[in-house]
Structure 1
Amino acid sequence: MEIAGYEFTGPFTDVSKVPLDRRGVYVVVCLADGEVDCYLDVGESEQVGERLKTHNRKDCWEENAHGEIAYCYRLTSGTWDRELDVNPLQRVRSHSRSEQFGIEGELKWKLDVACGPNPWEEIEEYWEIYREYEAEFGPRAGADAE
């Protein structure tokens, strides 16, 4: 199945169909009449199936699903070949150039998910605060004034 330009395996309503100990990216979806109706969560893990089985956001998935919860995954390895700066809020900087973090970041940019943190939304919130300070106090010291 294609999600945001990437080929994923799934969707599976049975989490046991996801490999327990493989590195990759996952997307949790809501199925309505057998079709993806909405995206519930996006993440990455060194052990995708194990992460999904024991996920701390399961309650959020259930609260936001109006159909069946299903799991899609994409196994990854190596480094991300895109020439983009990493998300500045990436939680594990040493791995931020890995394929799984790159794909996860891109999916969080492209997909509107109901559950889990989205660093791009945090950046937007910080940007709004920045603009409020700038409007109140003028340009920040050291910032390029244009």
Structure 2
Amino acid sequence: MDIGGYDFSGVFTNGDQIPAHNIGVYVVLCLIDDHPHCVLYVGTSEGGTGRATGADVTETGNLQHTLRYHDKRDCWQEETHGEVGYCVKPVTDTDRRLEIRDELQWKYVTPCGTDSWDTASQTDEAEFKHQFGARGSESV
């Protein structure tokens, strides 16, 4: 599934469907009649060391575990108009994971996330606006 110009796997409605040994970026969606309606949250799994893959991925740092035990799960349930769904993008490089997360957090204003753009510098905001368009300009 294309989300913000990136190819994601999913939409998964059950966390057990998500590969257990992947780290990366995830997007939590509100699904209505099995179709994405809006983005509830964008985040990254912790992973392990910088370029963790396979056996190097910590048990608590993989995408499946991150989504299953996330502290925002209640918010996702409260904010959905239908069913909660998950899309994942395996990304082993820590810097790249954070770049993708930051870009998607710019493109989608989410009801359950901490908005890092509230405290961002005007220079950073101007840079992102120039590069990706207006804040919150994407829809699923």
TM above 0.5, one fold? yes
**Is 1:48 aligned with 2:63?**
yes
Instruction: Please state how far the C-alpha of 1:35 moved relative to its aligned partner.
Output: 1.0
Output the CA distance in 1 between the equivalents of 2:120 and 2:99.
17
Report matched runs for 1:1-146 at 5 Å: 1-45=1-45, 46=47, 47-78=62-93, 95=94, 98-123=95-120
SS in 1 for 2:92: coil
Could you tell me which amino acid in structure 2 is paired with residue 103 of structure 1? I
Could you tell me which amino acid in structure 1 is paired with residue 103 of structure 2? E
Give the unaligned 5+ runs of structure 1.
Answer: 79-94, 128-146
Tell me the TM-score normalised to structure 1 length.
Answer: 0.69
CA offsets 1:64-106 (integer angstroms, 9 cap, x no match): 001010000000123xxxxxxxxxxxxxxxx5xx111110010
Could you tell me which amino acid in structure 2 is paired with residue 2 of structure 1? D
CA offsets 1:1-23 (integer angstroms, 9 cap, x no match): 00000000011111111122311
Output the CA distance in 2 between the equivalents of 1:38 and 1:121.
21
Output the CA distance in 2 between the equivalents of 1:25 and 1:108.
11
Output the CA distance in 2 between the equivalents of 1:28 and 1:37.
11
Identity of aligned residues (%): 38
Compare CA radii of gyration and give the structure with the larger one: 1
Tell me the TM-score normalised to structure 2 length.
Answer: 0.72
**Which structure has the higher relative contact order (CA within 8 Å, separation 6+)?**
2
Q: Which runs of 4+ in 1 moved over 4 A?
A: none
